[in-house]
Amino acid sequence: MKPASVGASVLLASALACGHTPTRTASPSPPDARRGSDSSRRGPAGPVVGEYAVRYDGQGELRVEATLDRSGRVLTVERGVEDFVDDLEIKADGAEWTRGERDGRSFLAAPCELGPCSLRYRVRLRAAARAIGDLDVASEEGEVIEAPPSSWLLAPERRDGGGRVRFRVETTESTRFCTGVLRSREIEGAWDIALGDLWTSPYSVFGPLRVRALEESGGAVELAIAPGALAVSDDDLADWTRDSARAVAGYFGRFPLAEALVLVVPSRGRWIGEGKTLSGGGGAIFIRVGEHAPKKKLHEDWVLVHEMTHLAFPTVAREHDWAEEGLATYVEPFARARAGILSIEDAWLGLADGLPNGLPTAGDRGLDRTPTWGRTYWGGALFYLLADVEIRKRTQGRFGLEHALRAILTAGGDNAHRWALDDAFDVGDRATGVPVLRELHRAMGTSPHPVDLDALWRELGVVRASGAIRFDDAAPLAAIRRAITTPDPRGR
């Protein structure tokens, strides 16, 4: 089925956020390319406390030169990468270069304690990726290396004082650098990230990537494809990415982030595999596509829409993982159903099959205190289904969950930002005029709150019949059930 069209979709010919700077020398100070018109699309404000020029040699090694503004005497990279940082030298302004000493996991940088200092060092990134093999730190993915900036920017250990760091990356002629970090507001060809976001900085990748820039419903989505055999073409991957973005944009009123990276890595088998999102200070989705996966599998896939849904809600504290995972689990089938990618019956069938996993069992202490798989994904999804139904009931159908979520997004609560959960729910509740999210969180957060799912399905008119779903339009909440799968073009 053809997806419903939401907003214009334009395929741009050139890459926007991916870096490819085949010059041989380190960047001099770039021109001050201030761009006022789209500054809201770009990285954080605040003082720049570190600037890094990074050169990738095309094989697996980075050479980094940096200037830091009074950063304290201890510098670190992501755990485990310190073993692959070589030849660190440090100097204060006007002084000689001295060797930077390692101290356990960290590096001592006495010259940086009192004032501005300069650093230079090498990172054997491919060796680190091969040894560590963790997407959140460093991972060798065939010819490309995935490693967030926290793994190769040697940065002050203390990161709670505010400020941001800026980096530029040069590659060889035949390689690219792509990242989910938001581009600098002020400088063309640079990326800025708040120090406080660095530890959860988005996936970033070096290597011979094929890159497409897709513009979809207010979002610039960079599609980076790693080398490797696939049964589908790059055009198929671009269509799939755009359709997924359009489904999410339809639900939320626009694509959640102004910029995001989707990194596709070929893998074994015939499935769409592991999908992960990493979003501090930007947004990046890593997704594996099986070498034998046919085009049909892309269209049946739920993983990419699930991951893109994550981009639409703020990063919240660990104990509220259910609020992020439950949201992606609940919204994904309905976003696809609204876009015409999934049948309405199948959207409800998935929920009817899955939600029993989310019910509290013996010893449950509420969603905030029971971090099991079932309670996190399906308990969270149950929370949002109850919220959606209740908001529609209390507002006589004027608003649903999506209007609360759109308001959170409009207030800046996207996945690049860290919020308190109740602040997000407050914004959502104010938009619908009914305090459903806060009330439900109080009821379900710290106590089991059992739900009679059979009664809920009867009220909604969702009827299981021999492995399929049929609908009972005489059920008391049938109108609410229909509204949940009906696109609402009103905006927020």
Provide, rounded to whole angstroms, the least separation between the CB of residue 306 and Zn ion.
Answer: 6
The three-state secondary structure class of 87 is: strand
Q: How far is the CB of 441 from Zn ion (least distance, A)?
A: 19
Pick the closer one to Zn ion by CB: 250 or 380: 380
Contact set for Zn ion, span 296-325 (CB under 5 A): 325
Contact predicate 68/163, CB 8 Å: no
Query: Are 322 and 446 a contacting pair, CB within 8 Å?
Result: no
Tell me: does residue 328 bind Zn ion (CB under 5 A). yes
Q: Which is nearer to Zn ion, 136 or 325 (CB)?
A: 325
Whose Cβ is closer to Zn ion: residue 52's or residue 203's? 203
Site size for Zn ion (CB under 5 A): 2
Residue 42 beta carbon to Zn ion: minimum distance, rounded to whole angstroms: 26
User: Based on CB atoms, which residue is closest to Zn ion, 18 or 272?
Assistant: 272
In the bound state with Zn ion, the residue whose beta carbon lies nearer, of 194 and 409, is 409
Taking CB atoms, the residue at the shortest distance from Zn ion is: 328
Sheet holding 101-103, edge to edge: 101-103, 106-108, 74-76, 155-156
- Residue 245 CB, shortest distance to Zn ion, in Å, is 17
d(CA 279, CA 285): 8
DSSP secondary structure of 182-247 = PBPSSSTT-EEEEGGGGGGPPPEEEES-EEEEEEETTEEEEEEE-SS--SS-HHHHHHHHHHHHHH
Nearer to Zn ion, 187 or 328 (CB): 328
How far apart are CB 261 and Zn ion at their closest, in Å?
A: 17
- Interacting stretch for Zn ion, rule CB under 5 A, among 291-299, 327-335, 344-352, 393-401? 327-335
State which of positions 45-74 bind Zn ion (CB under 5 A): none
Q: How far is the CB of 377 from Zn ion (least distance, A)?
A: 8
Beta bridge partners of 439: none
DSSP state of 344: H
Q: Is the distance from CB of 326 to CB of 376 less than 8 angstroms?
A: yes
Shortest approach of Zn ion to residue 373 CB, angstroms? 11
Q: Cβ 302 to Zn ion, closest distance in Å?
A: 11
Name the amino acid, one letter, at 156: P
Give the whole-angstrom CA distance, residue 191 versus residue 185.
8
Q: Which H or E element spans position 100?
A: none
CB-CB contact of 254 with 244 (8 Å): no
Q: How far is the CB of 351 from Zn ion (least distance, A)?
A: 16
Which residue, 186 or 325, has its beta carbon nearer to Zn ion? 325
Please answer whether residues 406 and 253 qualify as being in contact, where contact means their C-beta atoms are separated by less than 8 angstroms.
Answer: yes
Tell the smallest beta-carbon distance from residue 305 to Zn ion (Å).
11
Stretches 11-19, 247-255, 328-336, 483-491: which one binds Zn ion (CB under 5 A)? 328-336
90 vs 328 by CB, closer to Zn ion = 328
Instruction: Write the binding mask 368 to 407 for Zn ion: x where contact by CB under 5 A, - elsewhere.
Output: ----------------------------------------
Which of residues 267 and 415 has its CB atom nearest to Zn ion in the complex? 415
Q: Which positions ≥6 away from 130 have C-beta within 8 Å?
A: 140
Nearer to Zn ion, 170 or 414 (CB): 414
The closest alpha carbon to 311, from 261, 257, 271, 360, belongs to 257
- Report the alpha-carbon distance of residue 151 to residue 163 in Å, rounded: 19
Over the range 419-446, which residues count as b (16 or more CB within 10 Å of their CB) and which as e? bebbebbbbbbebbebbbbeebbeebbe
User: Site residues (CB under 5 A) for Zn ion?
Assistant: 325, 328
